[in-house]
């Protein structure tokens, strides 16, 4: 596809100050730069050094540093969400709001054709004054937007939303299975709490979406089409899809220690378990998890952060565990190359928290998926994988969100045992989806997104 006008089509990218947002925005910038589109990318000064290596087109993507002002109560030097515990995020949003003058100056100086932003709800006020179009880009799944962040959600203005209110999906919500049940809705109570000065999370995102010229979502029509359609009709806006914006596969090979260890096992026999970048388990749940893996009798590799109160994973392991699983089980407390591990022929099962990135990596891999979600969007992603796409099993949890070693082991075996009907059904569905969600389809999303951008500004 050729775009004769792309050399003067300059974009401004302005993601929320968290790596889970800045990174997919940057992947989008890269895909656009690949086709000749330049962008100015607004980032907190400190984030620039962390993201530099992901900028694949430095001659087209210019990082513009923002000085994040100090807000009372926020730890000195805070610039991104990973600098602070979650309860400080509202103050970080207040700090983001105080970068407005800097953002306005950049808009005036660079005169972009359009702005792609997310949490800065005041961006459309600036762009309207300059006659520039603004696209609000959601980087989480469409289902997790559709269930809480639409006008039909009716969030009370003067009092906090209740669990009972959250249990009922908004009118017209297009699924009866991709929902939160019972105690799980507690993870959504935050939407009526402040997120910035004098504004709640819901009000902020509602405004950011409502005032935009178009909505963009990091997903595909094939998987989440009905949720995207619902969001578009709720806001009365066009919805552009970018596809999942997965990173380019890393060029560094899998670490030697894992190549050696994994090659000692039969093809498709190893269970790999990882819970992303945020989750820290309670110590007893951590122990139950590793005992559940032991119980399967299968080889396993667990890569998790040390649980609460422990400095290392080793000191938190159950008594006698290491000796019992020696030679077939490893618990690793550091970062591993998840994508490469999932691609290793010996790995046959992926036990994950179903964060958005892991969900896609799991879908695109050959591994059977067993899911133990923790946060709101992870629970919705899990329901989507298990009940809509039917490519995964979800581990049972009780009212207190506790899962037992027996249930974990049972779930893993239900997908790994040869001759298991459940396993064969999931494998067949998974194969169909993997074939459909191929590289060509992802490329066509970027082409379509570019076409959408041109239509919007013309
Ligand atoms: O040891 C590890 C652990 C993780 N990863 C990679 O890190 C990414 C993790 O991303 P994701 O699965 O999305 O997990 P989180 O970073 O924990 O996800 C946060 O951000 C997501 C949105 O981007 C939300 O869906 C989640 O709820 C939120 O926890 C993936 O690409 C993994 O391959 C590794 O390479 N090695």
Residues 6+ apart with CB under 8 A from 448: 240, 241
How remote is the CA of residue 454 from the centroid of ligand 1, in Å? 32
Query: Cα-flanking dihedrals φ and ψ of residue 69, to 5°?
Result: -65, 155
- What is the best residue among 18, 145, 252, 277 to mutate for testing ligand 1's pocket, by most ligand atoms within 8 Å of CB? 277
Q: What is the position in ligand 1's atom list of the atom closest to the CA of 140?
A: 22
Query: Cα-flanking dihedrals φ and ψ of residue 353, to 5°?
Result: -85, -5
> Closest residue (by CA) to atom 33 of ligand 1?
338
Q: Pick the closest to residue 62 from 78, 79, 40 (CA basis).
A: 40
How far is 443 from 202, CA to CA, in rounded Å?
33
In this predicted structure, what is the pLDDT of residue 2? Answer: 44
> Closest residue (by CA) to atom 20 of ligand 1?
20
End-to-end C-alpha distance for the chain, whole angstroms:
18
In this predicted structure, what is the pLDDT of residue 426? Answer: 96
Q: Pick the closest to residue 202 from 127, 277, 93 (CA basis).
A: 93
- What is the best residue among 80, 355, 378 to mutate for testing ligand 1's pocket, by most ligand atoms within 8 Å of CB? 355
How remote is the CA of residue 245 from the centroid of ligand 1, in Å? 13
In this predicted structure, what is the pLDDT of residue 190? Answer: 93
How remote is the CA of residue 173 from the centroid of ligand 1, in Å? 27
pTM of the model: 0.92
How remote is the CA of residue 287 from the centroid of ligand 1, in Å? 22
How remote is the CA of residue 275 from the centroid of ligand 1, in Å? 7
Rounded average pLDDT per 10-residue block, the chain, 458 residues: 64 96 96 97 97 96 98 96 91 98 97 97 97 97 96 91 96 97 92 96 98 97 97 98 88 94 98 93 98 98 97 98 98 95 97 95 96 94 96 95 97 95 95 93 96 96
In this predicted structure, what is the pLDDT of residue 3? Answer: 47
Task: Name the pairing type of β-strands 239-241 and 214-217.
Answer: parallel
In this predicted structure, what is the pLDDT of residue 158? Answer: 86
In this predicted structure, what is the pLDDT of residue 1? Answer: 45
Task: List, chain by chain if needed, residues with CB within 6 Å of any ligand 1 atom.
Answer: 20, 139-140, 274, 276-278, 303, 335-339, 355-358, 361, 375, 377-378
Judged by DSSP in three states, 113 sits in: coil
Confirm if 276 and 358 have CB atoms less than 8 A apart.
Answer: yes
Tell whether ipTM is more than 0.90. yes
Task: Name the pairing type of β-strands 392-394 and 368-371.
Answer: parallel
Q: What is the position in ligand 1's atom list of the atom closest to the CA of 303?
A: 1
């Amino acid at each position: 596809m050729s775009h004769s006008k792309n050399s003067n089509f300059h974009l401004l990218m302005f993601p929320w100050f968290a790596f889970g947002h800045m990174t997919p925005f940057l992947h989008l910038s890269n895909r656009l730069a690949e086709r000749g589109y330049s962008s100015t990318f607004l980032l907190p000064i400190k984030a620039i050094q962390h993201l530099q290596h992901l900028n694949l087109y430095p001659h087209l993507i210019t990082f513009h540093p923002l000085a994040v002002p100090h807000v009372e109560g926020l730890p000195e030097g805070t610039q991104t969400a990973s600098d602070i515990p979650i309860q400080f995020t509202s103050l970080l949003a207040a700090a983001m709001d105080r970068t407005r003058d800097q953002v306005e100056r950049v808009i005036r100086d660079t005169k972009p054709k359009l702005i792609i932003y997310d949490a800065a709800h005041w961006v459309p006020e600036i762009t309207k004054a300059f006659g520039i179009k603004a696209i609000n880009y959601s980087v989480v799944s469409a289902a997790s937007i559709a269930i809480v962040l639409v006008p039909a959600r009716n969030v009370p203005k003067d009092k906090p939303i209740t669990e009972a209110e959250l249990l009922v999906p908004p009118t017209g919500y297009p699924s009866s299975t991709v929902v939160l049940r019972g105690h799980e809705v507690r993870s959504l109570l935050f939407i009526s709490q402040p997120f910035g000065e004098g504004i709640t999370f819901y009000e902020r995102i509602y405004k950011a979406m409502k005032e935009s010229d178009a909505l963009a979502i990091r997903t595909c029509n094939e998987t989440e089409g009905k949720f995207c359609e619902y969001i578009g009709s709720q806001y009365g806006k066009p919805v552009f899809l970018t596809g999942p914006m997965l990173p380019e596969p890393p060029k560094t090979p899998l670490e030697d220690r894992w190549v050696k260890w994994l090659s000692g096992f039969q093809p498709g026999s190893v269970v790999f378990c990882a819970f992303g970048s945020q989750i820290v388990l309670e110590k007893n749940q951590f122990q139950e998890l590793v005992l559940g893996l032991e119980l399967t009798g299968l080889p396993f590799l667990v890569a998790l952060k040390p649980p609460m109160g422990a400095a290392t994973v080793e000191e938190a392991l159950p008594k006698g565990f290491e000796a019992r699983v020696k030679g077939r089980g490893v618990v690793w407390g550091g970062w591993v190359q998840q994508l490469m591990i999932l691609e290793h022929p010996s790995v046959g099962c992926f036990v994950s928290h179903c964060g958005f990135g892991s969900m896609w990596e799991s879908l695109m891999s050959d591994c059977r998926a067993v899911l133990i979600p923790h946060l709101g969007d992870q629970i919705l992603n899990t329901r989507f994988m298990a009940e809509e796409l039917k490519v995964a099993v979800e581990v049972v949890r009780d009212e207190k969100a506790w899962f037992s070693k027996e249930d974990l082991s049972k779930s893993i075996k239900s997908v790994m045992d040869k001759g298991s009907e459940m396993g064969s059904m999931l494998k067949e569905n998974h194969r169909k989806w993997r074939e459909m969600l191929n590289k060509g389809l992802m490329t066509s999303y970027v082409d379509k997104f570019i076409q959408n951008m041109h239509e919007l500004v013309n």
